[in-house]
Amino acid sequence: MDIAVNSEKTGNTAIFAAVNGQLAGVIREEAFLALENIRENGIRNIIMLTGDNEGTAQLVAKQLRIDEYHAEIFTTK
């Protein structure tokens, strides 16, 4: 679980995928590759909608080269 704590300290949300109870991967790395594939297929404007806080959303958008993001959209104030 250290990876989850360290990930959150750098503005990331750790999401783990498991198959038959065994860790299969971290969604985050796969997201970058998936977005690259989308771009290679002609999609030029990627928008992220998230309930994450502004700081986390900004870091994720930058890391994944997302064009536009909207943070805290699922929270109430």
Give the pLDDT of residue 62: 93
Tokens of 2: 């250290």
Domain limits of the chain? 2-70
Please give the full DSSP string across 31-66, using - where no structure is assigned: HHHHHHHHHHTT----EEE-SS-HHHHHHHHHHTT-
Least confident of 13-17, 20-24, 66-70: 13-17
Closest CA to 26 of 37, 18, 38: 18
pLDDT in tens, 54-75: 999 999 899 889 899 999 987 5
What whole-number percentage of the chain has pLDDT above 70? Answer: 62
pTM: 0.58
The answer to whether the CB of 52 falls within 8 A of the CB of 60 is yes
